[in-house]
Amino acid sequence: MLNQSSNQKMSQKHELFPLKVENLALEVNGKKLINNLSFKLEANGITALMGPNGAGKSLTLRLLHNLIEKTSGTISWNNQTNQKLIQNAQAMVFQKPVLLRRSVIENLRYNLHVKKIPNKTEQANLIEEALTRAGLKGHANNPARLLSGGEQQKLAMARALMTKPSILFLDEPTASLDPNSTLVIEDLIKEANDQGTKIILITHDIGQAKRLAEEILFLTGGKVCEQGKTLDLINNPQTKQAKQYFSGEIVTENQK
């Protein structure tokens, strides 16, 4: 039974990639926030989405995850453009974790309920696994919203990973964490990726990008500015904006 469902997940994974984004645009109140965005991502590894504040990274992630509607363009997951069909194979962790007003364990159980996993033994196993992963076994019955920021983020990660998504979107998951918690989250990210989850991660932390990502997609002004292997792009950026960003200078809008 378990094997069968994980086989299904595996086949879904193959079906999702490559991800092709073509001329993606998002317009809000006549303002073009995402502009002719095009790129292609392969199945494996961790891709870091980088770029200055307001570049459109979070919006891009939300568009890919179908949280907001695009204005035009195409997003195709292995030629499949119906976002709803693949929603269940995706998960996302937000910069500020959103946890339900329930206990830690109920937050996890809720996700299983939504994903329609009624089998009690399977539920118990997945919850046990998630609690261990988050290091929150001792907090299982505590209100989730009383956890520290780092613990909340670990819980959000564990919740996102519990149904083994094919793709995990992370929007600055360690932005407000101390170095220690950051490392724990990074380990969770690497572990998930080792187990076959594709990860698209927004980060401003160049060190984190180097530690985790094989590839960087560098955005400015709602467009892809540069895409390349992590070290190539950081050490030898081709565009002026990327040069400035990775050398610690400030990239301003009028320097586009």
Partner 1 sequence: MTDISEAFANALHLIISADKDLVEIILLSLKVNLIAVFISCVIGLSIGALLAVYKFKGRTICLITLSALMGLPPVVVGLIVYIFLSNSGPLGILGLLYTPTAMIIAQAILITPIIAALTRQTLEVMHNEYYEQLKSLGVSKLAMAKTLLWDGRYQLITVVLAGFGRALAEVGAVMIVGGNINHLTRIMTTAIALETSKGNLSLALGLGIILIIMSFIVNGLVYAINLTAERQAYA
Ligand X SMILES: Nc1ncnc2c1ncn2[C@@H]1O[C@H](COP(=O)(O)OP(=O)(O)OP(=O)(O)O)[C@@H](O)[C@H]1O
Residue 63 or 234 with smaller CB distance to ligand X: 63
> Measured from the CB of residue 218, what is the shortest distance to ligand X in angstroms?
11
Residue 58 or 166 with smaller CB distance to ligand X: 58
Answer yes or no: are the C-beta atoms of 148 and 176 closer than 8 Å. Answer: no
Give the DSSP letter string of 95-131.
Answer: SS----SSBHHHHHHHHHHHTT---HHHHHHHHHHHH
CA–CA separation, 155 vs 98, rounded Å?
10
- Give the one entry of Mg ion, partner 1, ligand X, none that residue 53 binds, where binding means its C-beta sits below a cut-off of 5 to 8 angstroms depending on kind: ligand X
CB atoms within 10 A of CB 167: 23
Paired with 200 in beta bridges are 47, 169
Helix, strand, or coil (residue 191): helix
**Residue of the chain from 28, 100, 124, 146 that contacts ligand X (CB under 6 A):** 28
CA–CA separation, 165 vs 104, rounded Å?
20
Instruction: Provide the pairing of β-strand 198-202 with 90-93.
Output: unpaired
* Contact status: 57 vs ligand X (CB under 6 A): yes
- Give the one entry of Mg ion, ligand X, partner 1, none that residue 1 binds, where binding means its C-beta sits below a cut-off of 5 to 8 angstroms depending on kind: none
* Contact status: 59 vs ligand X (CB under 6 A): yes
> Measured from the CB of residue 19, what is the shortest distance to ligand X in angstroms?
18
CA–CA separation, 209 vs 215, rounded Å?
8
Candidates 57-65, 83-91, 135-143, 146-154; binding stretch for ligand X (CB under 6 A) = 57-65
> Measured from the CB of residue 110, what is the shortest distance to partner 1 in angstroms?
8
CA–CA separation, 200 vs 189, rounded Å?
10
**Residue of the chain from 58, 152, 193, 241 that contacts Mg ion (CB under 5 A):** 58
> Measured from the CB of residue 106, what is the shortest distance to ligand X in angstroms?
30
Q: Count residues contacting ligand X (CB under 6 A)?
A: 10
Terminal Cα-to-Cα distance of the chain (whole angstroms): 54
* Contact status: 54 vs ligand X (CB under 6 A): yes
Candidates 55-63, 104-112, 206-214, 240-248; binding stretch for ligand X (CB under 6 A) = 55-63
**Distance of alpha carbon 155 from the chain centroid:** 15
- Give the one entry of partner 1, Mg ion, ligand X, none that residue 110 binds, where binding means its C-beta sits below a cut-off of 5 to 8 angstroms depending on kind: partner 1
Binding stretches for ligand X (CB under 6 A): 28, 33, 51, 53-59
